[in-house]
């Protein structure tokens, strides 16, 4: 009796081991299929979050630029393009026109908005100069640097050099900036901002209307 039971017990134990191995194989297949579904979903979620982040950064920077540029006519905007786009900064100064009288007289703001795009750091900076606003009602003087009078001439070389010094520093307006383009040769001027983070990029282009001084 004992001899006849032994083979049945061995067969029972062998069948249980086979079931376990089959269950493990099926579980491995299911996990592989699940990973093939979830991994692309996770990548898509991360890509979507990155796109949203870049879009928000570009929109905030473009809105700030648009607000500054729309307050100035073409004569109040000085652009210093980079000699080497790969390493040299792009400099932009904006001097708002505060008042245009009925007789055509113009009063300029005594503060400048200075923008500097650093292609090495991939950051766009904004700085107000002077840092503290002057007293109310104070008008620019003829001998003060950067304070241009009605119908100011285009920036000369010393002004561009001084602008490069004054534009250093400031608050970071946008990071991950791949390129920053200001095209004043077209009417209306064109702004283009390209942000890139990893493999994701976002491009924002806008045409802006400058301050009209013809009344």
Task: Read off the DSSP letter of residue 95.
Answer: -
What are 99-153's pLDDT values in tens digits? 877 777 778 888 889 999 999 999 999 998 886 544 444 444 444 444 444 444 4
Q: Band the pLDDT of 9: cuts 50, 70, 90.
A: low
Distance CA 79, CA 190 (A): 13
Asked if 106 and 97 touch (Cβ cutoff 8 Å), the reply is yes
Q: What pLDDT digit, counting tens, does each position of 88-97 carry?
A: 999 999 988 8
Return the number of other C-beta atoms located less than 10 Å from residue 205's C-beta: 12
DSSP letters along 138-183, please?
Answer: PPPPTTSTT---SSPPPPPHHHHHHHHHHTSS-EEEEESEEEEEEE
pTM beyond 0.95, yes or no: no
Given this model, what pLDDT does residue 35 score? Answer: 76
- 3 pLDDT above the threshold of 90: no
Task: Name the more confident of 29 and 3.
Answer: 29
Domain segments of the chain: what residues?
Answer: 56-207
What pLDDT shows up at residue 24?
A: 83
Residue 79 in contact with residue 105, Cβ under 8 Å? no
Half-sphere exposure of 148 (CA within 13 A, CB side): 23
The C-alpha atoms of residue 168 and residue 104 are separated, in whole angstroms, by 35
């Amino acid at each position: 009796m004992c001899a006849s039971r032994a083979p049945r017990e061995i067969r029972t134990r062998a069948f249980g081991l086979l079931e376990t191995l089959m269950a493990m194989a099926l579980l491995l297949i299911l996990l592989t299929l699940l990973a093939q579904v979830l991994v692309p979903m996770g990548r898509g979620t991360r890509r979507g979050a990155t796109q949203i982040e870049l879009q928000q950064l570009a929109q905030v920077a473009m809105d700030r630029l648009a607000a500054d540029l729309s307050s100035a006519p073409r004569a109040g905007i000085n652009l210093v393009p980079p000699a080497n786009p790969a390493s040299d900064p792009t400099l932009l100064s904006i001097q708002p026109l505060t008042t245009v009288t009925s007789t055509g007289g113009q009063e300029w703001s005594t503060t400048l908005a200075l923008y500097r795009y650093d292609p090495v750091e991939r950051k766009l900076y904004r700085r107000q100069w002077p840092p503290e606003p002057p007293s109310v009602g104070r008008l620019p003087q003829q001998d003060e640097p950067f304070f241009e009078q009605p119908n100011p001439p285009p920036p000369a070389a010393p002004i561009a050099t001084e602008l490069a010094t004054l534009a250093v520093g400031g608050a970071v307006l946008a990071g991950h900036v791949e390129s920053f383009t200001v095209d004043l040769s077209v009417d209306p001027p064109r702004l283009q901002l390209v942000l890139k983070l990893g493999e994701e990029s976002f491009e924002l282009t806008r045409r802006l209307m400058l301050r009209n001084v013809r009344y």
